[in-house]
Amino acid sequence: DAKTTQPNSMESNEEEPVHLPCNHSTISGTDYIHWYRQLPSQGPEYVIHGLTSNVNNRMASLAIAEDRKSSTLILHRATLRDAAVYYCILRDSGGSNYKLTFGKGTLLTVNP
Amino acid sequence: DTEVTQTPKHLVMGMTNKKSLKCEQHMGHRAMYWYKQKAKKPPELMFVYSYEKLSINESVPSRFSPECPNSSLLNLHLHALQPEDSALYLCASSLPGASTSHEQFFGPGTRLTVL
C-alpha cells in the first residue's frame, strides 16, 4: 500500500470545524482513501472513504485534491467525543485489498 | 447487531502458559482479521481469514496460532509467548470480496500482558 503522511498532533476547540490533512503523493489511480479513527481505549472505527470526488456522511466530510496527492478530513463541529487518533489509509482496489496498513495517524485534542 | 466482541478484555499470562483469545461477530461478515497494537503505535495486521480459510499471514511467529472454526468465530491461540508480545490484540471483520468500500468493524481488543 502507498504511504501517507499526517501531522503527529492537532488541537481544536469544541464546536469549531477541524481540518485534518493527509499527504499521499505516491497514490496510484486505483487507491481509495480511507479514514479511520481510534478513540481512547477502543478499537479503530471507520469514518469515511473516497476515490476522486468529495464525500460527505453523518460523521465527516472528505475533500480530495484534484491531483489526488492530498486529502482533508473535515469534522464540521468538533465535540469532546471526537478526541481520537485519526488514520488516513490508502487501499488498493486490486490485489490484497483486505489489508489496512495504518500509518502513525494524527492525535486530535479537543478543548472544551 | 453491528458489534464485534472480544474476550477476555484483559489477560495476564506467563511465558509457559497456553491461552486463547476469542472474537465473535454476527453481522454475516466472511472476512475476519487479527491485529496487534503496541502502546502508542498503530495497529499492525497479523492474519486475515476469508470464508474461514487463512488468506494472509503477515509472517507472524508460530507461537501465535489463529483458528476460524465457523463464520462467526475467530480464535487466537497463544503459546510460549515472550514479554515483547504484550500488546492490545484487536479483532475485526468485514464483508469479503474485491470491493475496497468494505469497511472493517473492530472489536475493543484484548489487553495482553506476558510476564
pLDDT at B49 over 70: yes
Cα(B21)–Cα(B52) distance, integer angstroms: 17
Read off the pLDDT of residues A21-67 as tens digits, 9 standing for 90 and up: 999 999 988 889 999 999 998 999 999 999 999 999 999 999 999 99
Q: Which residues of A touch B98 (CB under 8 A)?
A: 93-94, 97
Give the pLDDT of residue A96.
56
In terms of Cα–Cα distance, which of A106, A89, A84 is closest to A39? A84
Identify whether the C-beta of residue A12 lies closer than 8 Å to the C-beta of residue A18: yes
Is beta strand B18-25 parallel, antiparallel or unpaired with respect to B31-37?
unpaired
Q: What is the mean pLDDT of residues A93-102?
A: 73
Cα(B59)–Cα(B47) distance, integer angstroms: 9
Give the pLDDT of residue A101.
87
Cα(B101)–Cα(B85) distance, integer angstroms: 32
DSSP string for residues in A1-24: ----B--SEEEEETTS-EEEEEE-
> How many residues are given for chain B?
115
Identify whether the C-beta of residue A29 lies closer than 8 Å to the C-beta of residue A90: no
Give the pLDDT of residue A98.
73
Give the pLDDT of residue B101.
63
Give the pLDDT of residue A91.
84
Contact A98 B109 (CB under 8 A): no
Read off the pLDDT of residues B4-46 as tens digits, 9 standing for 90 and up: 999 999 999 999 999 999 999 999 998 999 999 999 999 999 9
Identify whether the C-beta of residue A85 lies closer than 8 Å to the C-beta of residue A72: no
Read off the pLDDT of residues A74-86 as tens digits, 9 standing for 90 and up: 999 999 999 999 9
Give the pLDDT of residue A99.
78
Is beta strand A31-38 parallel, antiparallel or unpaired with respect to A106-111?
unpaired
Give the pLDDT of residue A94.
66
Q: How far is CA B109 from CA A8, A17, B36, B80, in A?
A: 24, 30, 9, 21
| Chain A nearest CA to B42, separation (Å) | 6
Q: By three-state DSSP, how is residue A81 classified?
A: helix
| B43 at A interface, C-beta within 8 A | yes
